[in-house]
Structures are given as C-alpha cells and as structure tokens.
Amino acid sequence: MSDSGTIELACLGRPFQLGMLYDCRTDALIPGITLWDFEMLKKNINNRPQPKTGFKIIASDSSEDKAAALKVSASLEASFLSGLVSVKGSADYLNDNKKSKHQSRVTLQYRTTTRYEQLTMEHLGAGNVKHCNVFQEGSATHVVTALMYGAQAFFIFDREVLSNENHQEIQGDLQASIKNIPSISIKGQASLKMNEMEREKIKKFTCTFHGDFALDNNPVSYVDAIKVYSELPKLLGEHGEKAVPLTAWLYPLKKLDSAAAQLVREINVNLIRHAQKIMDKLDDFKIQCQDLMRDDIAIQFPEINDKIRKCKDLLSEYKTVLQKHLSRLLPSIRSGGKEEQELADYLNRNERSPFKGALLTKYLNEREREMNVVRSYLDVMKDVPVISSSNNLDKVVLKASNNYVIAFAFSSLNEDEPYLSDLGNYLKEQSCNNEKQVSYNLNSSKTEKWFCSEDVKAFTRENIQSFLDFKEANKGKENIEFCIASIPDELSTASSIHVYERGRLISSQYELPSKPPMPVFLSAEHDCIHLQIKPPDRGVSCVDSYCISYQSAQSSEWTELYTDGVVDQVTVKQLQPHKEYCFTCKAVCRPGVSLTSDTTSFFRTHPCAPPGAPTVKQVKSESATVVWEVPASVGKDVLVTGYVLEFRECTKDQENEKPWKSVKSTNRECILHELKRDTDYTVKVSAVCVNDEMSLPSSETVFSACLKGKHSVEVGSGSFKNRSSRIHKGNPSIYRLELHQKMKEDDFNQYTFGRKVEDVKNKVILLLGSTGAGKTTLINVMVNYILGVKWQDPYRFKLINEVTNRTQAESQTPNVSSYELYSQPGFQIPYSLTIVDTPGFGDTKGIKHDKLITKQVKSFLCSPLGIDHIDAVCLVVQASLVRLSANQKYIFDSVLSIFGKDMAENIIILVTFADSKDVPVLEAIKAADLPCKKNTKGQPTHFKFNNTAVYADNMVEQHTTVGSDSDDDEEDDQTLDEIVWTSTFKQMKTFFKTLGNIESKDLMLTIQVLEERVRLEKAMSSLTPQITAGLSKLSEIKRFQQCLKNQNDKMDQNVNFEKEIEVMKANRAPANCFNMNCNNCFFTCHSNCFLPAEDPVQTCAVMENDHCIICPGNCHYSFHSRENFMWTYETKVETKTIKELKENFMEAKGEFMDTKQMLETLEKDLCKIKDKLMNLIKLSTDCMKRLDEIALKPKSLSTAEYLEILIKTEKEEKRPGFEDRIVELEDIKKEALLLEKIARGEDLLVTEL
C-alpha cells in the first residue's frame, strides 16, 4: 500500500485523539506533539451520532480470526505480532489463547458504536497548520483526522473436554448455548428456563471477559455472562459519554507538507501471514507442552516434566527472539531502509533451524509417546505407589519398619536430549547476532529411543511381570515395601529392579526369581519323597534356596520346607506312610520368595518303613537263620502280612553279579538253605502289606556261610559295639554310641539313638543336680544297663563323653540336651527312653549361670520341638551329704519352682556315691522339706548307685610270681568292683521297673507356671528400680509439702529461711555394656540390652505397641536410646530457701502458682507415683497368688536367709570370681526381700519410707 491515501486503523484500546500524530512505520502514537494548539483543535470538530450494535459468535481461536473480529489490518497485525503494539481493553482478546488442546472455546463478541468525530478544513486547509516545524522532525507519518467511538466486549467461554468425551459434540453444545445469550438478555432472566441436564452442562462453562466497559465484577460463569451482557448498553452512559475510540482514520503528513516523513512501503501480506503462522505454531507447541506437563505421568515423574518445561521455555525464548528481530526489521522496511527480501530470508531461516515445526512436532510426539508407554506400564502396576522424588524414595527406603524395599526403576527417563541442546545452542548463536545459518541436520541427532525399541519394551514388560509376580508372592509381609521410581542408571536401559536392605542398596539390577517349574518326582520312601528342583527361567543368580510346600490328600494345611542353599534335589521328610502328597516350589531370595509353582499330582509314600537290617542269628552247615526288626513305622490301617527275603552271592566283579533269590516269610525269622560253604552272601528284606504293596528293601547285610562244624552264637550287646566308635582301648575298651542330632537350638540340643518305633511307648526322665553330683556318669551307667552290658564283657559304652579339660567345679554339660533311645533288640527295658540332661548348678560361673540353666530348662519344656510329658524328675544328690547347703537349697528351690504341683509324685531321688546302707542325704532332704514321691515308709523314693565300677578294670593280668601280695590286692579290688557293679545294676533294674509303673504327667500346668513366672519377672524388673526411684521421689515431695505448709502457717516471715532437704539426683554412669535408656524419665529400662546396633529401638524387649513398659512414664520409643551408660540415683542434701524451692517447682511446671496451687499439684503428683507403684505391686501379688495355687514351689527366688548364707560362704571361701558373685547375690537378695514383703501383704509405700 502506498502512502497516498487515508488509512483506517483499529485503535485496540490505545488513547487516540483527533489531531494526534502517528508513525505508521512503528505503529506508534506520538504523544504531546500536534500541528495545532489544543484550543484550536477543540473548535470546528464535526461530530455526528453513529449508533449501531451487533454481536457475533466466534468459534475459532486463531490469531487471524481474532484480528478479523477486531478489524485489525495485516500491517497492524504484523506490528502486534512483533510486539511493537501493546493492546488494552477489549483488544486484550488478542492475547487470550487457549491453555490446552483439551479445551473447547466459543467467543461471543458484542460491538456497539455511538458517534463519529472528524477534523474539518478549518484544521486541514492550506495555511491552517500552526506548527509547521513538526514536519521537519520526521517523527510521524500521519495525523489522526477522524475517530469512531463505541465499545466492544468479548465473552470467552471455555469448557474442558475429558478424554471420554467427543470434542465436536462439546463444541456444538457450547456454541448453541452461547447463541442464546443475546436473545435471553433481551427477553429477560425469566426466559432462562433450563432442565436439569442443561444446568449441569452450563455449570461446566467458564467465562473470561475482555471489554471496554468498567464492571464491578467480571463474569466467571454462563449466568454471570447473561447478566453482564444485558447491562452493557447502560454502562456507556446515557449519552454514550463513556465510549472509547474504536477506529481511527489517518491522513498522510506528506500531503500537508512535502518535507514530512512518509511510509515508503507496506509489508507484503503473504510475509505477514507467514510470520503469523510461525507465531501461531509456536503458541500451539507451547499449549502442547502445557498439556503434557499437566499429565499425571509428567507430574509423577519430574524428569519428564523438566524436559517438557525446558522445551516450553526454549519456545518462549525463541518467540521473543523472533519478536525482537521483527520489531527491528519492520520499521526499517516500512521506511525504505531495508528490502522485504530480508524479512523473507529471515522467516525462511526458521524452516532450516531446529525450531522447524516438523522437528518440534516430532520431539513433542516422542515425549507424548514416551509418556503413553510409561502410562501403559503404570496401568499394569496400578496398585504400586509411584515415588516422585529422590527425597521421598529415601524416606521409603530408610523407613524403620522396612527391612526390604523393592523399587521398579525407570532408568532412562532422565537421559540426555540432544535435540534440546541443539535448540539452546541455536538460541545462543542468535544472541551473538550470527548471521550465518547452517541447515540443521536431523539425522545427526537421531538415535533410537528406548520407548521405540521393540526389544527394550519386551524386556521391560518381562521386568514388570517379574516385579508384580514377586509382589503378589510376598503380599501380606509387613517388612517389605514395593514402589515405582525414576532412578537414572547408565548401565540399564529403560528399567531395572533396585533392591534395598535396611536402607542400603544391595543391587541396582536385581533379577527377581520368576515362578519356578513344578517339582519333578524322583522316588518315594515310607516317610519321605525325593524331588528334583528345576530353577526358574528368570533370576536364577539371585536364588538363595527353595521353599518346598506339601499337602496330604486328607488335609487342607500346607507345610513348608526350606532347602539348605541352592540344590537340584530335595528330600521331603517326616511324611506319613501310605499317604498321598502333592508338592509346590518357591524360589527364595534375600528380599522374599517367588510365586508358587504349579501343584504336582499326588504321590504316595510306601505303606511302611523298610524292616530292620537282617541280622544273622545262627549259621549252620549250608544254612543260616536270619532275623530282622519289624518296620519302625507303619501307615494307618496298613497291615504287614509278610516279608520277602532276598539274598545272593557276593562277587568282586559287578558286571557278573549273581541274581537275587527270594524267600517269603510270615514272621521276622527265616532260614536260608542251600548255601555254599565259605561263601559271602548279601541279604536284604522287604515287608509285604495288604494288596501286595511292598516297602522298600532294608539295608543289606553281608555274612559268610561257615565250614561244616562252625556255627555262630546269638547276638547280644556286642551288636551295639559294632555300630559304635572306640574312643579308648583297654580293659575294658570304651565305645561311644553313634548319635543322630535331631535338632539344635540356642538353649538345647536333641539327639536320637536307633530308629523310632511307633507302637512302643516312650518314657521321659529329667535329671537335675548340682555340679559334681555325678549326673553324666550316672546317665552312662543307665545306658550300659539298657544295652545289656555284662561285667565280664571287654567293652563299655558312653552316651555322653565328659570334657576332660573341665574341673570338677565346672559342669560337664554346657546345654540342656535330650537323648531319645529308641527301643530295639537287646534293650533291657520294654520301652523307649528319653533322657533330658541339664547342666550342673552351682559351679564357679556363679548365680547368673544358674539362672541361665533355669532359662534353658524353661525353653526346652515350652518348645514345641521339646517334649510333651515327663515321667520322672530325677534329683541327683551325693549320698554323703548330711545336710543341704544354702547353695543346694537355692538350686533345688530354683529348679522345682519351674514345675506345677501335679509333678510332686513324679520327683525321684537318685543317690550317687552310695557305698553303704546308710544314706545321710535322705534325712537332709526330709529336713529341707523337698517335695518328692514317698515310699510306704514315708521315706523319699530313692535309688542308690555307685558309679565307680562301671569303667573299672575287669581283667586281672597273670603274673609269674605266685602268691604276690599285689596280685591278691588286685583280685580283691576286682571282686569288690564286681560286687559294686552287680549292686548298681540291680538298683538300676528296680529303678526302670518303677519308672515303667509311674504315671506320665503332661506339661500343661508346668507351662502355666512358667508363664506366670515370666509375668512376675517382668513386674519385678520394673518394680525393684522403680520402688527405689519412686520412694525417693515420694520422700522428696513430702518434705517439700511440709516446707510449704510450715511457710503457709507463718506467712512470709520464713520466706528466706534456709532448710536442708534431701534431693534425689539422676546421674549417667558409664557401663561396660549397652543399656536401653529413657532420656525423658532418666531411667534405665533394659540393662545389658542385647539389641543389635542396626535394629530399631522399638524392637527392644521392653517395647510393646511402640511404648516402653518399664520406664515410669511408659514413654514412646523415640525418647529411648541404646547407650553404654546407665542412669543411677543418689540422694544429696542441699540447703535451699523456701523461695528457691518454690521457684524451682514453678520453673519445672512451666507456670506461676501460689502456695495452695503448689500443694494441690504436689498431692496429684503423689497420687500418680503411688498409683504407678501400686499397679506394679498388684501385678506381682496377682502372679504370686496364682503361683501359690499351681506351682510346686511358689517362690522363684530363695529366701533372703538362704541368700545371706550364700553371701557369707562366698566371702569365706573366696573362690575365683567371688566378688562378682557376691554383687549378684546382693541384687537377688533385694528382690527376695521385696517379694517377701509383697507375700506378707505389707504396704511397701509405708514400710519402705
């Protein structure tokens, strides 16, 4: 467009006035400079009314349509795009863009004109311009000669479109509703009648107002908009005095004076449209970025959000760069300083830059695709929480209750984006005014993204499935937590599994084991089934062991068995004969277990155990008599109907082995005929059950068929010798029985001898005694009797081998041990026997060791792996004791306090070192009133033994010197030893006969006693220190009360009177062990606390429901700490005035009080402490009452008198370590005295004060 004509220009809220100068090169008003004086301008203005009103519905949000609605010319639009023009009022509509693509928008435009004003020839005629010097300045190109006044308003209605809604339908509904507004405003509010559905629709509309009207409140809803729309005409004033310039007409100054500046050329419309499209595209990309940033995935993963935000910021920066360049370039082209080609080149340069639309579209589509891929993964893991930051991940990992945290980690969300770097570098080059432009090469930055790789996505899916399977397998565990997080890891592509153990990362690429194949059946026995374990397809390297679960066909319960490490075969033991079982398998790793495999079909165990290994009873010429034991275990309702004996000749060449010959038998003895002389044979036997089902064959036995005339003798105790190991060669030689360790716990061990026989009853004896009483040797004597050893046999047996480097002052048995001797041929007793051996009491390790023994016995009796009944509690004592020492009384009281009253008739006295008829210790036991079984004479049921002969030399060497005195002495000694042997074994026979007739007692009442003991000990652990602290505090409070009362009586005259008072001070004393301390109560709650350093405080034994049950305040665990200090208390005498005492008291309470309030507060404190102490005392009293009812010995601690004797004895004997033992005894004595007072019903709060 040339500069020859008048220009019609939209005002866009700018302050146009008639006569103002305007520069069309920059589209700027020139304020303050005019061609006429103000008074002259006001005269001769042509003014005429121009009323016109209309509305328009605008469905588009493009900048071109917005410009058309405001009647903005292409040239002015270019200036607006470049930032040369700023708009106000209704023109702000140009700046209001949609915030999201998920947004439907319809705009209602209201436009009204009121009047038209223009200058006349009185102003523009020749010679009428007053200030001609303005033409020479060149600051303006046009003058405003006419203005159209009126007002515009834009009601912008937005409605969010949900993912499940149709955008076009929503747009149509919105447009239809907006069209009704003008008609509703005319008809009035009464016409606004809508049904419920229509009301719900309009509630979702939001309204934004841009107008040239002054409103009290801008409309925000559809209803508000109707109200405002109807009031718009009134807002212009009665005569339209509040109207604003809408359109201006500009006259070229060149036509008034040839010296004036002029607009050389207008910008080509095509170039303007090109620039407009670039700007619109950038705005669209920013909207897309905004949408992506609001997506749940971007919110959950800040790494994605940061990349999109960076892209958005770069787009904003690039738009600013474009605007600045255009704002410099447009005025130069319009004034003729530069050619249009420069603008064309600059705009074309965009197509060769990284900001090219296709590249931005590709990048943002990739981000959206990445988010969709992540969303699809999260949908699969919908029940797993997403951790959005590393700080939150630390909180989960370091959470005290979490032993393990399994995190599914997205490892590539934070990877570098070369394209964003290219965008940033391009902008840096632009800021340096680098005119050289190199075409951006897309291929140079093209790498395959992780979310585009099919292999990577397949691997990630496998990882997710493994993660979810593992979560499902460990559902319900409280110490394991699962989460999803973004954790950058260059070594992993897309995803990995991170495993944390107690806050420490143990692996960033952990392979969780997948569901393993089901176990493969290999073979079955009567009580076990052998299985093959196949490893899982994934996570084999992280498998530590396997968990085998099995279930019988008759039960719904599953039993679990864990393998010892990674194995390919496992034997499931302790099954029932002739039962069907199915099996499953789980892989076990550090944090948990895999999913359970499929269940196998049912496999049946054999109907019974194999018979015992054949034993050759007798060998004759060409025949042998073989015997064997019945199967040790037979299935329910299974009947053994016979046996099949198989035998064959032994050959050295395995390839030429002889075939098996079989013989059937209906009993446990069979004669093998037609044997070859002097030939070795192998023999085995199988049991035949109903329906011709057979057991597995027994172990094979090899024997030799003798030459004619030779024969074997029947087997006796020598058969046990053949299965034992010799530990001493001599006369006799000593053999140690081969035991099988059944179970090993911290407090006890269990051993078995022989094979269990189900249908034979089992007797249980528990041996107790002091160190040196001879328990261990007595047990060995019992074993030799049971196995049928004779005096003349050249061998003896030992069940327990004494530790030779221990002194007689130390116990030979370190732990409680049980020995189950299963009945078998050759036994001299008709039942199986379980011997429970206990460590000796009263050795040099002191009373703490004795308490530990009592604890071990309790643990054994209460363990489900221990015993379920006792036939005899055997107190082992030495015969020579004239009276029980205080130590021995203490020992027996401590041990017997474990048992219930029903055990009294099962307590038997076993006397050792008995070498005469008189047994002094019996009188001592009667005098001590120890509860035990009595015989018809009222004497304690007892058995006398002398263990000295059991391992004595039973062979006299033949010397050449006849009549030697030494030989006679040896013969006399041997005769005496044989007499002692015979006497002891007779007593042993009587003992086992009596044991067979004793009624067994279950442990129900004994376990109740033990439970009450635990409650009493817990109460005492609190009571003893708290009595000390509490009573001291009571005394201190009472003295302070008395001081206050005295001061109150004499008013203020004694306020400065000094008084000596006793104050209890809490001190932190160093300790050589760790203690659990409450630093709120200044109290040691658990001395010698064994809690591992890495374990949380709330797992200490004194904590229940996160609170301490010991400290006076029952404080939260957060007030406690594990320290190598302990709190002690001492009473100090301090001199203080009454005033100081009151001030200290108010400072401690944190508030001002008068004397009356102090006395009331002190009374409450007294009540609280008394209540706390009385609760503990009541708990102790209740426990003792219950123990009186059910316990054999109600007092778990011996009397203070006994303890005092023990202390004196220790002081006199001064054995090594006596000082430490005295300290222990003194502590126990304090508790004993306290218990005695409780038992007598004394008021501790009075007596202790």
pLDDT tens string 175-220? 888 888 887 765 555 445 667 777 778 888 899 999 999 888 899 9
| 1044 in Cβ contact with 1144 (< 8 Å) | no
Residues in the chain: 1249
Torsion (CA) 520, 523, 524, 525 in degrees, nearest 10: -140
Would you say residue 271 lies in a domain?
Answer: no
| Dist CA 169 CA 161 (whole Å) | 10
Would you say residue 275 lies in a domain?
Answer: no
Average pLDDT, the chain: 81
Predicted confidence band at 933 (pLDDT cuts at 50, 70, 90)?
Answer: confident
Residue 353: CB atoms within 10 Å: 20
In Å, the largest CA–CA distance within the chain is: 178
pLDDT surpasses 90 at 1001: no
pLDDT surpasses 70 at 1044: no
Would you say residue 868 lies in a domain?
Answer: yes
pLDDT surpasses 70 at 143: yes
Q: Tell me the per-residue pLDDT of 637-679, one tens digit each, with 9 for 90 and over.
A: 888 889 999 999 888 776 778 888 999 988 888 888 888 888 8
pLDDT surpasses 70 at 318: yes
Closest to 624 measured CA to CA, from 578, 675, 580: 675
Same domain? 220 vs 291: no
Backbone angles phi, psi at 116, to 5 degrees: -130, 130
Average pLDDT of the residues in 619-648? 86
Give me the DSSP letters along 145-209: EEEEEEEEEEEEEEEE--TTS-HHHHHHHHHHHHHHHHHHHHH-GGG----HHHHHHHHT-EEEE
Predicted confidence band at 146 (pLDDT cuts at 50, 70, 90)?
Answer: very high
Would you say residue 269 lies in a domain?
Answer: no
Among 551, 581, 604, the domain boundary falls at: 604
Give the chain's end-to-end CA distance (angstroms, integer).
113
pLDDT surpasses 60 at 343: yes
Residue 1164: CB atoms within 10 Å: 10
Same domain? 728 vs 857: yes
Among 579, 604, 629, the domain boundary falls at: 604
- The pLDDT of residue 1053 is 45
Same domain? 767 vs 704: no
Same domain? 982 vs 1023: no
Same domain? 1230 vs 1132: no
| 263 in Cβ contact with 339 (< 8 Å) | no
- The pLDDT of residue 1166 is 65
Q: Tell me the per-residue pLDDT of 81-126, one tens digit each, with 9 for 90 and over.
A: 888 999 999 999 999 988 888 889 999 999 999 999 998 888 887 6
**Lowest-pLDDT range of 28-42, 206-220, 248-262, 701-715:** 701-715
Q: What percent of the chain has pLDDT over 70?
A: 79
Among 1001, 1024, 1048, the domain boundary falls at: 1001
Q: What percent of the chain has pLDDT over 90?
A: 29
Say how many domains are in the chain: 7
Which CATH number belongs to the domain containing residue 735 in this structure?
3.40.50.300
Same domain? 95 vs 17: yes
- The pLDDT of residue 450 is 86
- The pLDDT of residue 1249 is 40
Q: Tell me the per-residue pLDDT of 736-777, one tens digit each, with 9 for 90 and over.
A: 998 888 777 666 788 998 877 656 788 999 998 887 788 888
Q: Tell me the per-residue pLDDT of 453-477, one tens digit each, with 9 for 90 and over.
A: 888 989 999 999 999 999 999 998 8
Range of the domain at 629: 615-715
Torsion (CA) 985, 990, 991, 997 in degrees, nearest 10: 150
Same domain? 950 vs 887: yes
| 39 vs 407 pLDDT, higher one | 407
Residue tagged 């105790």 (tokens): 717
Q: Tell me the per-residue pLDDT of 507-566, one tens digit each, with 9 for 90 and over.
A: 999 999 999 999 999 999 988 999 999 999 999 999 999 999 999 998 889 999 999 999
Predicted confidence band at 1198 (pLDDT cuts at 50, 70, 90)?
Answer: very low
**Lowest-pLDDT range of 139-148, 201-210, 392-401, 1159-1168:** 1159-1168
Would you say residue 2 lies in a domain?
Answer: no
- Name the pairing type of β-strands 762-769 and 725-728: unpaired
- The pLDDT of residue 210 is 94
| 438 vs 927 pLDDT, higher one | 927
| 1240 vs 869 pLDDT, higher one | 869
Same domain? 948 vs 1059: no
Same domain? 352 vs 460: yes
Query: Hey, what amino acid is at 1040?
Result: F
Contacts of 315 (CB under 8 A, 6+ apart): 282, 285, 286, 289, 355, 360
Would you say residue 591 lies in a domain?
Answer: yes
Same domain? 291 vs 253: no
Contacts of 510 (CB under 8 A, 6+ apart): 406, 496, 497, 498, 499, 542
| Dist CA 109 CA 91 (whole Å) | 11
Same domain? 548 vs 478: no
Would you say residue 609 lies in a domain?
Answer: no
Same domain? 1056 vs 1160: yes
Predicted confidence band at 1040 (pLDDT cuts at 50, 70, 90)?
Answer: low
Joined tokens for residue 60:
């588009």
| Dist CA 75 CA 259 (whole Å) | 24
- The pLDDT of residue 972 is 65
Joined tokens for residue 1068:
């932190």
Reported in sequence order, the residue ranges of 298-455 that DSSP labels E, i.e. its strands, are: 386-387, 404-410
DSSP assignment letter at 264: -
Would you say residue 514 lies in a domain?
Answer: no
Which CATH number belongs to the domain containing residue 563 in this structure?
2.60.40.10
pLDDT surpasses 80 at 831: yes
